[in-house]
Structure formats: C-alpha cells, structure tokens
Amino acid sequence: MKFIPPFGLGTFRLKDQIAIDSVRTGLELGYRHIDTAQIYGNEAAVGQAIAASNVARDELFVTTKIWTENLGNGRVIASLQESLQRLGLERVDLTLIHWPSPNDELPVAQYLGELLEAKRQGLTAAIGVSNFTIAHLREAIDAVGVEEIATNQVEIHPLLQNRKVVEFARQQGIHLTAYMPLAYGKVLAEPVIQRIAAAHGASPAQVALAWSLQQGYAVIPSSTKRENLAANLSAAELRLSEEDMAAIATLERGERVANPGFAPRWD
C-alpha cells in the first residue's frame, strides 16, 4: 500500500461544481490525497476533477467510504464497484467503513471481511475504518488482523482530542486520520490558538492543522477558497514548540461536531 499522505483534501458537504472546483484547485496547489465518500454524493464530481487534471494517477491517493446502508446484503463489494464507476477509476487507494453498523446490527467481521475481499479483488489498495470505537477496533483486529487496518478516521481537533481512542490505536500500531480538524471553524476562535498563531506569524487554522500533523495524524480539511486551500497546505511547514503543544492540550473539552443519531457509544 502507498503511505497515506499526511495532508489531504476533504470533500464533505461539497457538491456538484463546488466540489469539482475545490478538488481541481487543490490538485493545482499540490494536494495529492483526496477524501470522498458514498454518502457525500460527490464521487462523480471528484472523479471529474481528477480526470480533468494533469496529475498522474499513481501520484494520487484517493479515499472513499462505504455507507451504512451498503454494509449488509452482500452490498459492500457491489457498492464499491459503483463508487469506482462514479469516480472513473479502476481502483481506489483506500476504502473505509464509514461508520460501524448502526446499533451493531451487523457484525464488524462480516462487512470488514467483505471489504478485505474487495482488496483481494484489486478494487482498493488498502482498507480501513472510520468512527470506530475501541470496542469496534478490537472486533476489526480480530476479524482481519491489525496489519490490514490502514487507518481509523475519526473526529480529532483541539476541542475533541479523542485521547482514549488515540491511545488504543497507538498501542496497536493503527494510524489515525483526523477529520473536521478545525471543528467547522470553532477552533479558530480559541484565544490560545490565536495567541500561538500570532507568535508564529501563522493563521489559527495553520496552528490547529500543525498540531494534528505533529502528532502523526493525517488531516483532511476542506475549503472552497483557493487562498484557504493554499494556506492550509502550508501548515505542514509550521513547527509548534512543546509549550505550544502543551497549551493546546488544555483545550480538550469533548466538543464533538459529528454525532448523528446512529453514532456508536463513544469512548
């Protein structure tokens, strides 16, 4: 499997031409990791932007995610094939189970086993999970082996540091991808983040992203504005001090943004 590029472009909530423009601009600026999902309704738009770019396929890392409605009835592989058609790709680099089966109606071993079969069939180079709790991660490890779990994509930002899941994943050697790394902009209003940003001549967004990157997470912020896309990408060059990191650690307050009714019982 290709190494997951630490900096990706998220596409949640981006539709149609807006999605095409965001991905196209991102690719122009140097993004090479694009994150989409079946439920976003934008796989075709993402595929269109990729096809219109001059970026070679082997330079790109494309992630999609299997929606909950496709976890049963042998739908995992068929739905991934549909995603590939929409994306205009022969295979993706990473496919994630987007959420555990609501109320655990279906066992993790069933749908993750089917996703592993999709990998064996060459539809995806790697597989992983998203929004998995420690209990779900244990089941996943038992089902397919820890070496098959390329990442657990979970909400992580200074206001929700998800420490229990992070600690367990690290103990097991499972990589983490931080989604909503700016908590829809809430993080940017934090005085601690603003003070650190001012000291570094950086933006609050760059500080929040650098905080995630320095902990070894991949980040997938999204934006529709060229200047924000460019500024976000340059966060990889920002180095925060131990004092900065310690100050940001104090912002943890369990402020979760993504918490739909079918979410698992969080750690």
- Domain segments of the chain as ranges: 9-182+217-223
The answer to whether 208 and 182 are in contact (CB under 8 A) is yes
Is the predicted pLDDT of residue 1 greater than 70, yes or no?
no
For the chain, the average pLDDT equals: 97
Q: Tell me the C-alpha distance between 140 and 135, whole Å.
A: 9
Q: What are the pLDDT digits (tens) for 181-196?
A: 999 999 999 999 999 9
Sequence-distant (6+) residues with CB within 8 A of 111 are: 66, 71, 72, 76, 97, 101
What average pLDDT does this structure show over 127-148? 98
pLDDT of residue 143: 98
pLDDT of residue 3: 87
pLDDT of residue 118: 98
Is the predicted pLDDT of residue 39 greater than 90, yes or no?
yes
The answer to whether 256 and 160 are in contact (CB under 8 A) is yes
Q: Which two tokens stand for residue 234?
A: 């340059």
Is the predicted pLDDT of residue 252 greater than 80, yes or no?
yes
* Radius of gyration (C-alpha) of the chain in whole angstroms: 18
Is the predicted pLDDT of residue 2 greater than 80, yes or no?
no
Q: What are the pLDDT digits (tens) for 82-109?
A: 999 999 999 999 999 999 999 999 999 9
pTM, to two decimals: 0.97
Q: What are the pLDDT digits (tens) for 156-169?
A: 999 999 999 999 99
Q: Given CATH 3.20.20.70, say whether it is the number of domain 9-182+217-223.
A: no
Question: Partners of 165 in the beta sheet?
Answer: none
What average pLDDT does this structure show over 250-264? 97
pLDDT of residue 166: 98
Q: What are the pLDDT digits (tens) for 185-243?
A: 999 999 999 999 999 999 999 999 999 999 999 999 999 999 999 999 999 999 999 99
- Alpha carbon dihedral 37, 79, 6, 216, in 10-degree steps, equals 100
What average pLDDT does this structure show over 128-135? 98
Is 184 catalytic? The answer is no
CB burial of residue 148 (10 Å; 0-12, 13-18, 19+)? middle
Sequence-distant (6+) residues with CB within 8 A of 188 are: 182, 194, 203, 204, 205, 208
**The one catalytic residue among 31, 40, 111, 179:** 40
